A and B are shown apart, each in its own frame.
Chain A
């Protein structure tokens, strides 16, 4: 690795990190404005033009609030839990490519922080570790509602994770590789995986909502029954860390979905790699707009569907999504065997 590559990597890390943070700020506002729009009201529109600075004001408020640590918490684990949630949430985006490689002064810069040969498994591994933060936060708070939220999140994890893995297997089978670049290049050469495997895309979409603990599967923080769920006893910046991790996970899950089933940075009918720098710009725009659509979908679904009950989610995961995932694998295998 020479100086150029090192510098390029550092710049990419900074750009991706800052972009995620800015997107979180925008999402925080979009969530409230879109929900206002869907409920026929305005939503926050007083801070800055069109309320654009509302999330910034909220963030500053979180920083200046008193940080309360209740008496009966298990201190070391209580303090550790937000960190355990936040680190994997910000690490996962590293393997997602957001555009075609850029040519600068004879060097090729991949628009992706880390191109590792097991990119898909990396995301799955890290997201399954991230759940410890929720479980431990719930346990360490020393109160019954967070404990229930934490227990639910671990039971939720084992219900959807298998279905999610099975949905991904079909994609890996057709593209023949575990890196995002192979998957996207294959989709660009043929057609988007969504058209080939709509069933797997559906299973993945449902599992994705469960993974990010968003409505209709936000059982870990169901406010009507569990106060705030696992983060009930957290205040100030520690609460902000949970909040930011949730949105970071939402962004990564959208990027993951786009790369797996919707061609990643691929813009249909255009060969981005032949267009030089304009191709790079087009591909980044395509990726950003696709991810933006899924971010909107998250908010849209939130105000459209009621919350599933706890046992309904487990039944959905084990008795519906898991068999559907298996059916998809068999169908893809049969199709590949017949074509070969």
Chain B
């Protein structure tokens, strides 16, 4: 049952992700991305990481994508503008981006294959629960957690500085 659901959600996730990239209408892309996040959340549920799954829906699908949709709707990007040619001497950085993407992708696939060959780690009882995640954040991962909050504070102050005309 779990295996069937895993393949179902994987197929939907990949399909939605392709829809996001290949679609020319930005609103459709946003809706596709929300659907992709939902399927990702379903994958977390299958792994019994309910907290992470709900956060995926609450934060990404619920809050961040609403802002995406808000911006796309405000900008009102026309979907039917002429497509610029993909390969062009001026677009040499496309090649560099593609190279970085492909190498990262290969790295991930390599990691995945290596994980498949080794035996899976044992699940501790209650793993991925709110208490578990919270304890990990405030003990073993305290420094990265604080660095992330510092980064967010810097971003927040920067936004206020940019948005405010006179400081």
Residues on A facing B (Cβ under 8 Å): 74, 77, 116-118, 121-122, 124-126, 128-129, 131-132, 135-136, 139, 147, 150-151, 154-155, 157-158, 161, 178
Least CB separation from A80: chain B residue:
B31
**Across the interface, which residues of A come within 8 angstroms of B50, CB to CB?**
116-118
CA distance A150 to B66 in the complex (A): 11
| Contact pick for A121, options B27, B34, B51, B63, CB 8 Å | B51
Contact B66 A158 (CB under 8 A): yes
Determine whether the beta carbon of B70 is less than 8 Å from that of A118: no
A118 contacts across to B, CB distance below 8 A: 50-51, 54, 130
Say yes or no: is B109 at the interface (Cβ < 8 Å to chain A): no
B62 within 8 A of A: yes
Q: Tell me whether chain A's interface is mostly helix, strand or loop, or mixed.
A: helix
Query: When the two chains form the complex, which single residue of A74, A77, A124, A132 contacts B66, counting CB atoms closer than 8 Å?
Result: A132
Q: Are A158 and B63 in contact (CB under 8 A)?
A: yes
Whether A154 contacts B69 by the Cβ 8 Å rule is yes
A-B contact pairs, 8 of them (CB 8 A): A118-B51, A121-B55, A125-B62, A128-B63, A151-B70, A151-B74, A158-B66, A161-B62
B167 at the binding interface (Cβ < 8 Å): no
In angstroms, how far is the closest chain B Cβ from the Cβ of A102?
A: 26
Is there an interface contact between B73 and A128, defined as CB atoms closer than 8 Å?
Answer: no
Which residue from A150, A161, A178 sits with its C-beta under 8 Å from B130? A178
Q: Are B66 and A131 in contact (CB under 8 A)?
A: yes
Query: CB-CB < 8 A to B28: which residues of A?
Result: 77
B-side interface size class: 20 to 34
Interchain nearest-CB distance for A67 vs B (Å): 23
Q: Which of A124, A131, A139, A154 contacts B58 (CB 8 A)?
A: A124
Interface of B is mostly: helix
* Complex-state Cα separation, A336 to B40, whole angstroms: 37
| Residue of B28, B61, B66 with highest tally of chain A CB at under 10 A | B66
Q: Does B1 contact A (CB under 8 A)?
A: no
Contact assessment for A151 and B54 in the assembled complex, using a CB-CB cutoff below 8 Å: no
Min Cβ gap B37→A in Å is: 10
Question: Contacts A122-B54, A154-B66 given; 15 further ones with Cβ under 8 A?
Answer: A77-B27, A77-B28, A116-B50, A121-B54, A125-B61, A128-B57, A129-B34, A129-B57, A135-B66, A135-B69, A151-B70, A154-B67, A154-B70, A158-B63, A161-B62
Q: Tell whether, in the assembled complex, residue A139 and residue B66 are in contact, meaning their CB atoms are under 8 Å apart.
A: no
Whole-angstrom distance between the Cβ of B48 and the nearest chain A Cβ: 11
Closest B residue to A136 using CB positions: B31
Q: Which residues of B contact A136 (CB under 8 A)?
A: 27, 31, 69
A54 to B149, CA, bound (A): 55
Asked if B129 lies at the interface with its beta carbon under 8 angstroms from chain A, I say yes
Contact A128 B70 (CB under 8 A): no
Within 8 A of A (CB), among B101-146: 129-130
Task: Check A132–B69 contact: CB distance below 8 A.
Answer: yes
- Asked whether, in the complex, the Cβ of A129 is within 8 Å of the Cβ of B61, the reply is yes
* Bound CA span A18–B19, Å: 37
Nearest residue in B to A172 (C-beta to C-beta)? B130
The 9 closest A-B pairs by CB, nearest first: A128-B62, A125-B58, A125-B57, A154-B70, A121-B54, A154-B66, A125-B54, A139-B73, A118-B54
